[in-house]
Amino acid sequence: MAASLHGFPESCGPARRLAQALSIPFAEVGVHRFPDGESVVRVDRPSRTAILYRSLDDPNAKLVELLLAASALRENGAHRVLLVAPYLCYMRQDMAFEPGQAVSQRVVGKLLADHFEAVLTVDPHLHRIHSLAEAMPGTEAISITAAPVLSDALAGLANPVLVGPDAESRQWVEAIAQPFGYEVLVGTKQRSGDRQVAISIDGIGKVAGRPVVLVDDVISSGATLAGAARLLHEAGAASVSALATHCLASTEDLAALERAGIDKVRATDSVPGPVAEIVLSGLLADRIRAHGWLEEH
């Protein structure tokens, strides 16, 4: 077999689904953590092309183990090591916002580019750059959008309004709404802290008596969505739900969203969790084949 897929314990479910979609062998990466915080990583013997699967939420511990696994795969026979990281960490800080800050996108992007021949991710949180390749010079950097599967998840809704939380979300939310012709509203937000966000939504009167779906690329604490949900209920929305590519929210954060009036939160399986119900394996497999990852090199 020309390729094999290797996944870490916390993401075995989606990693196995991707291996099945690609019809290639799957092996779990063994991880043992010592009391002092160090890790030892073990891999099964790979094919010539080894695809390593790990989402990089909670990244600080995961990054070291990821690099150890990449090294072990090469030392055990892999000629190429490629990374599928459905959620890619440290992409939002693309400049120093205050004197003395590190530009984490540049640092982590170079780190991954130095260790993988190619990287594939979904809806990375990019602001001032136009492509993932700018953050990862020297390697094949592929970014895809989850918009098609998120749009499919909305099929059958009767007369909904899709709401994006800020101006940056407009193009993305409109792509999700377009197949069904759903109406879109876009909010504006002012952030004064990690969990302090003020929201306003132009045209909010249109939601009266209609189901509303809040759409975002990443749910972190959920503060933005909670503020938007309260406004939408005040404007007479019949119901409010949320849809996202990546859900990083804790169980406490999800409970707060429910208290804010969000009936249901759904996200892709990019990050394991209780709301990760929209499967990405077909989307990822199509792009892997299109880029020739399974071909002999």
Full residue range of the structural domain in which residue 181 is found: 147-278
**For the residues of the chain, what is the DSSP string, one character each?**
--EEEEE-GGGHHHHHHHHHHHT--EEEPEEEE-TTS-EEEE-PPP-SEEEEE---SSHHHHHHHHHHHHHHHHHTT-SEEEEE-SS-SS-S--S-SSTT---HHHHHHHHHHHH-SEEEEES---SS-S-HHHHSTTSEEEEE--HHHHHHHTTT-SS-EEEESSGGGHHHHHHHHGGGT-EEEEEEEEEEETTEEEEEETTGGGGBTSEEEEEEEEESS-HHHHHHHHHHHHTTBSEEEEEEEEE---HHHHHHHHHTT---EEEETTS-STTEEE--HHHHHHHHHHTTTTS--
Q: Is residue 296 part of a domain?
A: no
Residues 250, 267 within the same domain: yes
pLDDT score, position 174? 94
The pLDDT tens digits of the residues spanning 32-79 come to: 999 999 999 999 999 999 999 999 999 998 999 999 999 999 999 999
Instruction: Quote the pTM value.
Output: 0.93
pLDDT score, position 244? 96
pLDDT score, position 126? 81
Residues 119, 212 within the same domain: no
Residues 262, 155 within the same domain: yes
The pLDDT tens digits of the residues spanning 249-290 come to: 999 999 999 999 999 999 999 999 999 999 999 999 999 999
CATH code for the domain of 252: 3.40.50.2020
Residues 189, 169 within the same domain: yes
State yes or no: pLDDT of 18 exceeds 90.
yes
